[in-house]
Amino acid sequence: MKIFNFSAGPSMIPHKVMDKAQKEFLNYNGMGIGVSELSHRTIEFSDIIDKTENNIRKLMNIPTEYSISYIPGGASLQFYMIPANFLINWWGCEYIHTGYWSEKAIVEAQKCCYVRVSSSSRDANFRRIPNLRKWKNNPDSSYVHITTNNTIEGTQYHSYPEMEYGVPLVADMSSDIMTKVTDIKQFDMVYASTQKVLGPTGLALVIMKKKLTERSYNKNLPTMLDYNTYIHEKSMHNTPPTFSVYMLMLVTDWLLEQGGIETMDKINMLKSEVIYEKIDASGGYYKNLVEAPHRSRVNIVFRLPTKDLSELFIHQAEEEGLLGLRGHRSVEGIRASMYNAMPLEGVERLVDFMDKFERTHG
């Protein structure tokens, strides 16, 4: 039986990538040593890091004024590094509050400065993105922070706020980076932990306008918390998580082979439509409470009529080879995460299972 992993993260990695990594784990490039045994100061590793950067630039169409860095500590370390590096005064950075992860980002920023939460969808139980049509950023904000896809709540921005007064826009894209076509020029900085869309844990991919680091008023940052360290030393000031970077290279190779982000965008759209259609056609047996224009294409959250039925659903799905469907502990029910590595076939298997389950227990 073919297994499909719907886990939110760590999540599914393309089979072809896993296969190649398995071989090269023992013997990289015919060297007779494994990729994890390779010194980061070798030409071979230097090629890995360069190729990864080239792949990412190609895939996301990133101009040279942006740097690309790999920083340990996941997205959660970025929650602190961003205010620590980008504050131009102590009284203002601005956050749009859309759920669990944006809240974590706010809490870390509050350790550095006064944080303005200039918009929030808490009143709507985070079942939407706030209406930003009339929203305006503050002229004296050091930056504005958004979370483009809310992994736990299953909401997603399908257009981004327009910035005024040259205030930078910073985005946590951990769970939707490279899953849809995005114009990097709308952002001054984008970051993503790698274990959702891009491979295994261990890193945050950080893409930012190099100019941003000149703004900071804090000139005395610890070396490892200063973006300049990563930019000027190509993420090799100290020993980087070499295996994670290598996996990022393989995943981005695979993405290019598939036809890049445009192809992923179309497939991801189709995959999510198949599931939402099933949910909406079930007459309320399966319920997704997110307002339709803000539904996430990659994390689909739904409920069954009772908690017991949800438990049974998760249990029986596992027996059928559909893993990782349990929702986050803060939101009950089911969550199907389907990033780039999840093929349409896996989603069809899930929909068939939903059909069968509803017929048996409806």
Point out the residues that are catalytic: 101, 172, 196
H-state helical runs in 87-205: 100-109, 194-197
Compute how many residues bind ligand PLP; rule: CB under 6 A. 12
For residues 260 and 278, give the distance between their C-alpha atoms in angstroms, rounded to a whole number: 28
172 binds ligand PLP (CB under 6 A): yes
DSSP state string for 287-304: B--S-GGGB-SSEEEEB-
Q: 134: exposed, middle or buried (C-beta count within 10 Å: 0-12, 13-18, 19+)?
A: exposed
Q: What share of the chain is helix, strand, coil (3-state, %, to 5)?
A: 40, 15, 45
101 binds ligand PLP (CB under 6 A): yes
Q: How far is the CB of 153 from ligand PLP (least distance, A)?
A: 10
Single residue of 67, 174, 235, 252 touching ligand PLP by CB under 6 A = 174
175 close to 157: Cβ distance less than 8 angstroms: no
For residues 225 and 72, give the distance between their C-alpha atoms in angstroms, rounded to a whole number: 10
327 binds ligand PLP (CB under 6 A): no
Residue nearest to ligand PLP (CB): 74
244 binds ligand PLP (CB under 6 A): no
119 binds ligand PLP (CB under 6 A): no
121 binds ligand PLP (CB under 6 A): no
Alpha-carbon distance values, 202 to 23, 59, 165, 196, 247 (Å): 21, 21, 36, 11, 11
176 close to 298: Cβ distance less than 8 angstroms: yes
Single residue of 145, 196, 294, 349 touching ligand PLP by CB under 6 A = 196
- CB under 8 Å to 191, separation ≥6 — which residues? 75, 78, 82, 170, 171, 172, 173, 174, 204, 205, 206, 207
324 binds ligand PLP (CB under 6 A): no
Segment contacting ligand PLP (CB under 6 A): 136-144, 170-178, 251-259, 326-334?
170-178
- Looking only at the bridges linking them, the beta strands covering 66-71 and 204-209 are antiparallel
Single residue of 4, 5, 9, 242 touching ligand PLP by CB under 6 A = 9
Q: What residues from 209 to 228 belong to the interface with ligand PLP (CB under 6 A)?
A: none
Token pair belonging to 267:
């497939």
DSSP letter for 149, please. Answer: E
Residue number, 331 or 354, with CB nearest to ligand PLP: 331
Q: How far is the CB of 99 from ligand PLP (least distance, A)?
A: 9
- What is the x/- site pattern for ligand PLP, positions 41-80, by CB under 6 A? ---------------------------------xxx----
Peptide bond connecting 10 to the previous residue in cis, omega within 30 degrees of 0: yes
151 binds ligand PLP (CB under 6 A): yes
Single residue of 147, 179, 268, 310 touching ligand PLP by CB under 6 A = 147
Q: How far is the CB of 161 from ligand PLP (least distance, A)?
A: 17
| Residues paired with residue 299 on neighbouring β-strands, in sequence order | 337
153 binds ligand PLP (CB under 6 A): no
Residue number, 71 or 354, with CB nearest to ligand PLP: 71
Which residues of this protein are in contact with ligand PLP, per CB under 6 A?
9, 74-76, 101, 147, 151, 172, 174-175, 193, 196
